[in-house]
A and B are shown apart, each in its own frame.
Chain A
């Protein structure tokens, strides 16, 4: 015995035995993931949803889809057109404004500063209003209305501005007249003064020659005063001019800002439309998922309730058309393609009847509900014993 053991050692057998166990362990670890997908296919009965629409329905759906896409494109085009028009209207209004403002500036130069300011404020308000309204109009996305509104607005603004201008002109005229009157009065006053002085002079000449010097001095004084007055007037006019120019500049800047705001609003409208499109795509994906889950639910429910008749050929295929009510109740389950085995066909329709109602239909979107209220189920006996 000892000799034999010495001849055949235990080293190699031990290594081999451990190798066998390691291999067995690895096989158990490797087989588990493989064996896992099998339970899903181990369902005895396989009911497959062939298609949820018939051929004619498909054509209808295709048409509808085409119509929908056409509508969407039209909407987009209209939107784009509306935006363009609104922008153009804005530009035209701005140009008009600019022209009117240029005219107004000339008037202003003649008119008093206070009136000009008031007019500018009104115009500014009008411009702001116009910008706000323009943005709104763009958001509404309805081409005709937006266009009409924009035009009406532009016209109303133009009218307003024209009125404002006329007012300003009238006021300027009135002011000019008033100034003329004032100047005339001043003149009259000055004349009266001169007369009084002349009289005084005369009295002074009559009184004394010594007073002649005083008179001369007084005259000089009066002259100096007049000069000072004239200079002061000039100064005032220059200041007014500077003020008017500053106002004009400020207005131009405001105009620019208004234009920028209008552009921004247009860009936002475009972004909004893009976001809407993305949302629509996301909704479509969600709907697809929901429909998949609904198909699976129906399949599972029908599979669970399908009792295959005995000794059925495994090659049989029956197609059942299922029509559902709005709340998922079964309206009709009819054989659209018979398997040739009446008992098999009956078992298929009975399975659908037993599985109904499909209350999950109510959880779907309205559009999907319509699609899933009529679908076909294909019955094939799976690997049944």
Chain B
């Protein structure tokens, strides 16, 4: 009884559909955990980079220097990416037009593009977590319902329906629901946590973009063409 009710034994004895459901749920669970770990690492790294860049930007360094002082093949992230996109646009537009309005418009546009890219990368794969979180309980429930259906079908052929004849079937069917919840619960928790981190980071990027934009605007207003050459 003990051996026949152990979870691996139940899984091995389940019907094919239930087994497929379980396999799907296992894959979903593994995928969600891969995403959870990958996103956690990526977001922690993004936060660190954001903090470092913030300190550097507000330490009073010259913006041109900051722009040029980059290693080879460097791919900026986060607010640095926003800054570089905006500053590049600003440098390109300055010689071409006198209108500060047009320059600021161009800078803003390029910053918006960079921001949307950053948002994309921050939220990458979080939709998978959301899908697993919402769908796997239903998938597990489907497996359970299917298993119980099968159990009742085979029960109709049995002479006596005691609890001990029904129990293994139902336990086996319920394993599917358990697996669905096992996949869904961490996915829900980490989806909320990771998406809140990502939105906070995105908010910081937007704040930075606004601040940078105001700096450029101040410079344009002050001298109408001051480029710290």
Query: CB-defined interface of B106-147 with A at 8 Å, one 1/0 digit per residue?
Result: 000000000001001100100000000000000000000000
On whether A32 and B34 interact (CB within 8 A), knowing A7-B45, A8-B45, the answer reads: no
Chain B contact residue count (CB 8 A cutoff): 26
B192 at the interface (CB under 8 A from A): no
Which of B35-43, B62-70, B93-101, B207-215 binds A?
B35-43
Which residues of A are found within 8 Å of B121, using beta-carbon distances? Answer: 1, 3-4
| Distance between Cα atoms of A21 and B75 in the complex (Å) | 35
Inter-subunit contact B42/A7 (CB<8 Å): yes
The answer for the CA separation of A42 and B40 in the assembled complex, in Å, is 42
Contacting residues, chain A, for B33 (C-beta < 8 A): 13, 16-17, 20-21
Interface pair B2/A1, CB less than 8 Å apart: no
Cα distance A211–B7 in the bound complex, in angstroms: 137
A29–B38 CB distance below 8 A: no
A8 adjacent to B7 (CB under 8 Å): no
Q: How far is the CA of A24 from the CA of B25 in the complex (A)?
A: 14
How many contacts between A and B, using CB within 8 angstroms?
60
Contact with A along B28-52 (1 / 0, CB 8 A): 0111011111100110011000000
Q: How far is the CB of A240 from chain B (nearest CB, A)?
A: 88
Contact between A29 and B45, CB atoms less than 8 A apart: no
What separation, in Å, do the CA atoms of A13 and B45 have in the docked complex? 14
Decide if A18 is an interface residue (CB 8 Å cutoff): yes
In the docked arrangement, what's the CA distance between A14 and B29, Å?
Answer: 11
Is A3 within 8 A of B34, CB to CB?
A: no
From B2, B26, B31, B120, give the contact of A32 (CB < 8 A): B2
For residue A28, CB closer than 8 A to chain B, the reply is yes
Check if B7 sits within 8 Å of A4, measured CB to CB: no
Q: Is B77 at the interface (CB under 8 A from chain A)?
A: yes
Of A1, A3, A33, most B-chain CB atoms within 10 Å: A1
A13-B37, A29-B8 known; A1-B117 Cβ under 8 A: yes
Once bound together, how far apart are the Cα atoms of A17 and B75, in whole Å?
28
Q: Give Cα A32–Cα B30 distance, bound, in whole angstroms.
A: 23
- Among B2, B30, B31, B77, the residue within 8 A (CB) of A33 is B2
Task: For A55, list chain B residues within 8 Å (CB).
Answer: none
**Contact indicator A16/B37 (Cβ below 8 Å):** yes
Measured CA separation A6–B46 after assembly (Å): 13
A24→B41 CA distance, assembly (Å): 22
| Docked complex Cα distance between A7 and B75 (Å) | 10
Cβ-defined contact, B117 with A17, below 8 A: no
Q: Is A36 an interface residue (CB 8 A)?
A: yes
Contacts A1-B124, A29-B8 known; A21 to B38 CB distance under 8 Å?
A: no
B182 interfacial by beta-carbon distance below 8 Å: yes
Q: Cβ of B221 < 8 Å from any Cβ of A? A: no
Once bound together, how far apart are the Cα atoms of A29 and B7, in whole Å?
Answer: 7
List the A residue with the shortest CB-CB distance to B32. Answer: A17
Residue B199 is within 8 A (CB to CB) of chain A in the complex: no
CA–CA, A1 and B116, complex, Å: 11
Residue A311 is within 8 A (CB to CB) of chain B in the complex = no
Task: List chain A residues, Cβ under 8 A from B34.
Answer: 10, 13-14, 17
Rounded to whole angstroms, the CA-CA distance of A28 and B182 in the bound complex is 12
Q: How far is the CA of A28 from the CA of B34 in the complex (A)?
A: 21
Residue of B8, B29, B38, B77 near A13 (CB, 8 A) is B38
Query: What class of interface size applies to chain A in its complex with B?
Result: 20 to 34
CA distance A112 to B192 in the complex (A): 127
* In the complex, per-residue mask of A28-63: 1 if CB is within 8 Å of any chain B CB, else 0: 110011001000000000000000000000000000
Interface presence of B6 (CB below 8 A): yes
Residues on the B chain within 8 Å of A12, using CB: 37, 41
The answer to whether the Cβ of A5 comes within 8 Å of any Cβ in the partner chain is yes
Complex alpha-carbon distance, A17 and B41, angstroms: 13
How far apart are the CA atoms of A137 and B4 in the complex, in Å?
Answer: 62
A24 vs B186: C-alpha distance when bound (angstroms): 13
Which B residue's beta carbon lies closest to that of A17? B33
Report the bound CA distance from A32 to B36 in whole Å: 28
| Measured CA separation A29–B9 after assembly (Å) | 10
Given contacts A8-B42, A8-B45, A32-B6, contact A17 B37 (CB under 8 A): yes
Chain B residues positioned under 8 Å from A7 (CB to CB): 42, 45, 77
Inter-chain contacts of B45 with A (CB < 8 A): 7-8
**Interface members, chain B 196-214 (any A CB < 8 Å):** none
The docked-state distance in angstroms from the alpha carbon of A33 to that of B36 is 31
Give B122's nearest chain A residue, CB to CB: A4
- Looking at A1, A4, A7, A36, which has the most chain B CB atoms within 10 Å of its CB? A4
- The reply to whether A21 and B7 contact each other, CB–CB distance below 8 Å, is no
CA distance A8 to B45 in the complex (A): 9
* Cβ-closest chain B residue relative to A36: B2
B6 & A4 in contact (Cβ 8 Å cutoff): no
| Contact between chains at B41 and A1 (CB < 8 Å) | no
A32 touches B37 (CB 8 A): no
CA A13 – CA B30 in complex, angstroms? 10
B119: nearest chain-A partner, CB-CB:
A1
Ordered by A's residue number, 23 sampled pairs between the chains whose C-beta atoms are within 8 Å are A1-B124, A3-B121, A4-B46, A4-B124, A7-B45, A8-B38, A8-B41, A8-B42, A10-B38, A12-B37, A13-B33, A14-B30, A14-B34, A16-B33, A17-B30, A17-B36, A25-B8, A28-B7, A29-B7, A29-B8, A32-B2, A32-B5, A36-B2
- Besides A29-B8, A32-B2, 18 more A-B contacts (Cβ < 8 Å) are A1-B120, A1-B121, A3-B75, A4-B121, A5-B124, A7-B45, A7-B77, A8-B38, A8-B45, A10-B38, A12-B37, A13-B35, A13-B36, A14-B30, A17-B30, A17-B37, A21-B30, A21-B33
The 5 closest A-B pairs by CB, nearest first: A17-B33, A13-B37, A13-B38, A1-B121, A8-B42
